Amino acid sequence: MENNKKTALITGGSRGIGRAICLKLAGDGYNLVINYAGNYQSAERTKSECQGLGANVVLVQGDVSCMNDCEKIFSAAQEHFGSVDLLVNNAGITRDNLIIRMTEQEFDSVIGVNLKGVWNCMKLAARIMIKRRSGRIINITSVVGVTGNAGQTNYAASKAGVIGMTKSLARELAARGVTVNAVAPGYIDTDMTAALSDNIKESIKNTIPMGHTGKDHDIAVLVSFLASDDAGYITGQVIHVDGGLAM
C-alpha cells in the first residue's frame, strides 16, 4: 500500500474512453483500480501500459449492475490501497433498436449497467468519501442523454438518468467536501465508431459544428482536471465534450 498516492477506481477501464482515462490518471500519479466486465486481455494491456507510467494497478472483474460485484471491486480497492479518492463511472453498454423492436431484456440490461451500475458505485464511494470529508466522483454520461437519439430509447434514458443522479448526489455531498460531476461525450473515435461505414461517418461529421469527431484523450484530460484540486469548487455540472453538437 502506498499512502502517498491517491487512488482512482475506474469502471469499464479496459478499452476506449475508459482506457484513455486510466492512462491519463496513471500519468497523474494515481494508484488505479481498474474494473472490467469480461475482456481480460484488454484489461491486462491497459494495466501493463499504466504500470509503465509508474502506477500501481489492480484489476477487478465485475458486473457493475450487480451490487455484490461492486462491493467486491471496492473491497479490493480498500484492501490494496486503503481507500478510494476518485471514482470514475465509465462502464456502459448499448443495445440499440427501435422501440417497437426493442426487447424488455435490451432495455433492462442497458438500464442495469449504465444507470443502476452508476448508482451502485456512487453509493459505495459516498460511504468512504463522507467519512473522509473529501473525494471526487465523475460520471461519464453522453450527449444522447441530453438530445436523445433514434433507436436508443434505452441508452438515452440511462444517460439522462445519470445526469439527474449526478446533480442530486452533488447536492447531498457538497457540504462534505465531495464533488460530483458528469462528462458528456459526443461522437468520439472508438472501436465502436471505427466499425461504421464511411457514409455514416461523414453524415455524423456534418452534424458537428467543429466538423470532426473527438478523441478519447479529449475526455481523459477533462476527467483529469475535474479530479484535480483546481476543480474543487466545481460540482453538479454536466460538461459536454462534443465539438458543439448539443449547443
CATH number at residue 75: 3.40.50.720
Question: Alpha-carbon distance 214 to 47, whole Å?
Answer: 24
Whole-angstrom CA distances from 79 to 28, 57, 75 are 22, 13, 6
* Residue 153 included in any domain: yes
Question: Alpha-carbon distance 210 to 213, whole Å?
Answer: 8
* Residue 182 included in any domain: yes
- Regarding pTM above 0.85, the answer is yes
Per-residue pLDDT of the chain (247 residues; tens, 9 = 90+): 445 899 999 999 999 999 999 999 999 999 999 999 999 999 999 999 999 999 999 999 999 999 999 999 999 999 999 999 999 999 999 999 999 999 999 999 999 999 999 999 999 999 999 999 999 999 999 999 999 999 999 999 999 999 999 999 999 999 999 999 999 999 999 876 777 778 888 888 899 999 999 999 999 999 999 999 999 999 999 999 999 999 8
Q: CA angle, 65 as apex, 138 and 182 as ends, to 5°?
A: 15
How many structural domains comprise the chain? 1
* Residue 114 included in any domain: yes
Which DSSP state fits 176? Answer: G
Residue 44 class from Cβ within 10 Å (0-12 exposed, 13-18 middle, 19+ buried)?
A: middle
- Domain containing 122 equals 7-241
- Which residues are catalytic, by number? 155
